[in-house]
Amino acid sequence: MSDFDLDRVRADFPILREVIHGKRLAYLDNGATTQKPEAVLLALDGYYRHANANVHRAVHELAARATRGYESARDTIAAWFNAAREEIVFTRGTTDAINLVARSFLQPRIAPGDEVLVTTMEHHSNIVPWQLAGAKTVAAPINDAGELDVDAWRAMLNPRTKLVAVVHCSNSLGTINPIATLIAEAHARGIPVLVDGAQSAAHIAVDVRELDVDFYACSSHKFYGPTGFGVLYAKREHLEAMQPRDGGGDMIDTVAFDGSTWNEIPYKFEAGTPDIAGAIGAAAALDYLAGVGLQAAADHEHAVLAYATEKMSGVPGLRLVGTARQKAGILSFVMDCAHPHDIGSILDQAGVAIRTGHHCTMPLMKRYGLPATARASLALYNGKDDVDQLVDALHMVNRLFA
């Protein structure tokens, strides 16, 4: 598509034709998971109908088809992020990818008291794995708008900092962090950097070579692909030095009772039968995004975000949480009259799907003195009509509870 065509995009997503409680579906829970276009559904169906076999282990035709599809997916994903194919490790998602780095990269390199520098806005998946690996997590502060205090962050870098782990785009606030600056600052001190790209991969072009990032993790289901599949980009030198976390089939070179040796990268980190369909579906999702045009989709999303911000600011008693100057399509909010869970229930009856709770960011909620927020999150198939349906339902919340 040369120009962004919302009607045409929506026609690609069958689930958007669902009727919810007698109302059109306004799906605004994309920060949790995105819906899947027909192209992805057909890719998944095509694999299971015409190529269902295991990869790398047989010479029959179905196995050859499966292996071609699986490895072609790696090529597609590597090209999307401008990485070498051997630097792309297939995982179960962002959480699994971060845990892999925590156990295989960080844990062997730290001593008691060593630190991982994170931010106050991190998802639990970018906090807990470092703690399980034995590191101390220290968090740089944010201002009331939800922006990272970069000066304070810089001052927290010290000889005990063994890794910087930072979210690219906050799942609770929508804040887009200046990761290029953070990576350069950390590297100037010899500190490697992991970027949690779960919320950014579908909205922001990411060139891992240009960023010079050490690790970048993302999940397929956040960029219109299947659930249960994700990607870890890691620099070749890190993967070569890391020991595998999981043992089993396909990650080995030789096996004997007195010891085993490992396969080449990235396969030494991919034990067992992989999510073949997940890889094929993820590649199909990226091909779909490329066809739509990532920048065109991002421009459309920013226009809807601006419209939603204005419309929601006019709802009595509603306060937006997260008003960073650099922000993606996430609108977290609270209302004076109702708990977020009640808001979510009323909106559901109006056909509006949002997320309520702490969004796996409990330290961030504590920073704002809130138990939870309601969150509407945008994708390329959302439009002003979805926002209008949301705002009408929010006025209904006021009528019922105020």
Select from 311, 361, 351 the least CA-distant residue to 331.
311
Residue 3: predicted pLDDT: 82
Q: What is the pLDDT of residue 57?
A: 82
Give the H/E segment covering residue 187. helix 179-187
Count of Cβ atoms closer than 10 Å to residue 132 Cβ: 12
Say how far apart CA 371 and CA 208 lie, in whole Å. Answer: 36
Tell me whether residue 360 is one of the annotated catalytic residues: yes
Give the whole-angstrom CA distance, residue 199 versus residue 78. 18
Give the C-alpha distances (Å, rounded to integers) separating 289 from 49, 80, 150. Answer: 24, 10, 32
Please give the radius of gyration of the chain, using alpha carbons only, rounded to the nearest integer.
22
Domain ranges of the chain: 6-30+294-401, 41-290
Please name the fold of domain 6-30+294-401: Aspartate Aminotransferase, domain 1 (3.90.1150)
Return the pLDDT at 1. Answer: 38
Token couple for 274: 């992989």
Active-site hit among 169, 218, 337, 360: 360
Structure tokens at 236: 């070749």
Residue 234 host element (H or E): strand 230-234
- Output the tens digit of pLDDT for each of the chain's 402 residues: 348 999 999 999 999 999 999 999 999 999 999 999 999 999 999 999 999 999 998 899 999 999 999 999 999 999 999 999 999 999 999 999 999 999 999 999 999 999 999 999 999 999 999 999 999 999 999 999 999 999 999 999 999 999 999 999 999 999 999 999 999 999 999 999 999 999 999 999 999 999 999 999 999 999 999 999 999 999 999 999 999 999 999 999 999 999 999 999 999 999 999 999 999 999 999 999 999 999 999 999 999 999 999 999 999 999 999 999 999 999 999 999 999 999 999 999 999 999 999 999 999 999 999 999 999 999 999 999 999 999 999 999 999 997
The answer to whether domain 41-290 has CATH 3.30.365.10 is no
